[in-house]
């Protein structure tokens, strides 16, 4: 069956959009969906071990979120840094766009200016800053890039990182991993469930809205990933794989061959997973509840089935689960 963008729409009451995480992290709710029996179970994330395959390997994304949002003049001027060319040359989304015209030098704060050298068709600006990006003068203006549906609250910055985050590079958190605590990871290890790590630096492409009704016309932005020799060996020895988050899925499915074999490597992936996709390596998925019409919702639908996705989301809304980045979790097994 061919699906269109409208097929992935649903109505979410605004009050179900989580503005802060559960405390402790692993006290988020957990919806468990069994693909064989089609049974839905409502529980809490700290009971995750009850539902995981006893021989599974958890694959987590250890990317760390950068403070890539620069805000000045009380938030009236903003640079969202998407990439860094050198110490003071960046590519960024800007607000308001009319202030950042090509060739113009904009005063951001006392002693800090931004010269716009190029404006791309998609609005992305190439900008030369008067201060190096790592200069202490810029530190007071750096903020965590919370999604637009979450109010900016820098006191939550630490909670927008996973407990195993290591490598700086993401523009948004791999949010399925936010539910893990060190204690829960240790408890799972004692149970015999091992965790291994990959890296995918989450870019704007993962969250960019799909603007074409025909999904074949949507172009995914690429994101950089890495899978090292140790992880490749662990995955090759695994009898069952549980991906923690859609970003981990993107790494695993980009690297695995048709015989479910993995080789260490790094590069860029623009994989776009929609219903009809045949998974090569992922057996189970831990994920959050995603935005309507998003590529993430399409990926989840590919694993659990399109009709089942709608049924499960209806159940989650009826049961008042909390949605999106700071929301509750789902295990698809």
Statement: residue 96 has pLDDT above 90 = yes
Instruction: Taking residues 164-169, report their average pLDDT.
Output: 95
Examine the fold and report which residue of 85, 119, 143 is the final residue of a domain before the chain moves on. Answer: 143
Segments forming the whole domain that contains residue 104: 69-143
Task: For the full predicted model, state whether its pTM sits above 0.75.
Answer: yes
Domain boundary among 103, 120, 143: 143
Residue 113: its H or E element: strand 112-119
Tell me the per-residue pLDDT of 305-326, one tens digit each, with 9 for 90 and over.
999 999 999 999 999 999 999 9
Strand order in the sheet with 284-288: 40-44, 29-33, 329-332, 284-288, 240-244, 56-61, 194-200, 223-227, 265-269
Does 82 reside within a domain? yes
306 with 168, same domain?
Answer: yes
- Please compute the mean of the pLDDT values over residues 129-157 and round it to a whole number: 94
pLDDT > 90 in the chain, percent: 92
Nearest to 174 by CA among 233, 240, 223: 223
Q: Does 163 share its domain with 121?
A: no
Round to whole Å and give the CA distance between 293 and 5: 6
Q: What is the pLDDT of residue 206?
A: 66
**Could you read off the pLDDT of 11-26 as tens digits, one per residue?**
999 999 999 999 999 9
What's the average model confidence in pLDDT over 42-61?
A: 98
| DSSP 3-state of 314 | helix
What is the pLDDT at residue 204? 76
Q: How many domains does the chain have?
A: 2
Average pLDDT over residues 39-48: 98
pLDDT at 60 over 90: yes
Q: What is the mean pLDDT of the chain?
A: 96
End residue of a domain, out of 113, 143, 173:
143
Query: Is 41 contained in some domain?
Result: yes
DSSP code per residue over 32-100: EE-TTT--EEEEEGGGGGGTS-TTEEEEEE-EEE---EEEEGGGTEEEEEEEESSSSEEEEEEESGGGS
Is the pLDDT at 207 greater than 80, yes or no? no
Instruction: Say which CATH number the domain at 96 has.
Output: 2.40.10.240
Report the CATH number that the domain containing residue 235 is assigned in CATH.
3.40.1780.10
Write out pLDDT tens, residues 222-266: 999 999 999 999 999 999 999 999 999 999 999 999 999 999 999
Percent of the chain with pLDDT over 70: 99
Retrieve residue 242's tokens. 């549980």
Q: Do 57 and 78 share a domain, yes or no?
A: no
**Residue 243 C-alpha from the chain's centroid:** 13
pLDDT of residue 209: 84
Average of per-residue pLDDT across 162-179: 96
């Amino acid at each position: 069956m061919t699906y269109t963008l409208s097929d992935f729409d649903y109505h979410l009451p605004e009050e179900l959009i989580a503005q802060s995480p559960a405390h402790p992290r692993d006290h988020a709710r957990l919806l468990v969906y069994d693909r064989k029996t089609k049974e839905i179970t409502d529980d809490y994330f700290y009971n995750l071990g009850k539902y995981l395959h006893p021989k599974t390997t958890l694959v987590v994304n250890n990317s760390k979120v950068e403070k890539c949002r620069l805000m000045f003049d009380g938030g009236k001027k903003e640079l969202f840094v998407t990439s860094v060319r050198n110490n003071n040359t960046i590519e960024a989304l800007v607000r308001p766009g009319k202030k950042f015209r090509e060739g113009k030098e904009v005063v951001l704060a006392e002693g800090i200016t931004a010269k716009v050298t190029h404006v791309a068709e998609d609005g992305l600006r190439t900008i030369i800053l008067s201060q190096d990006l790592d200069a202490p003068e810029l530190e007071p203006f750096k903020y965590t890039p919370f999604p637009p549906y979450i109010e900016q609250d820098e006191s939550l910055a630490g909670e927008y990182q996973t407990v195993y985050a290591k490598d700086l590079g993401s523009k948004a958190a791999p949010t399925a991993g936010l539910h893990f605590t060190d204690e829960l990871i240790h408890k799972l290890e004692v149970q015999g469930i091992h965790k291994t790590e990959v890296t995918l630096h989450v870019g704007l492409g993962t969250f960019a809205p799909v603007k074409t009704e025909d999904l074949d016309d949507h172009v995914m932005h690429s994101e950089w990933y890495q899978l090292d020799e140790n992880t490749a060996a662990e995955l090759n020895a695994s009898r069952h794989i549980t991906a923690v988050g859609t970003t981990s899925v993107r790494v695993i499915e980009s690297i695995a061959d048709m015989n479910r074999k993995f080789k260490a490597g790094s590069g860029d992936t623009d994989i776009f997973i929609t219903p009809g996709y045949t998974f090569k390596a992922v057996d189970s998925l831990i994920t959050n509840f995603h935005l309507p019409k998003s590529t993430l919702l399409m990926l989840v639908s590919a694993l659990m089935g399109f009709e089942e996705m709608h049924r499960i989301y209806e159940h989650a809304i009826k049961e008042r689960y909390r949605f999106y980045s700071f929301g509750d979790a789902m295990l698809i097994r």
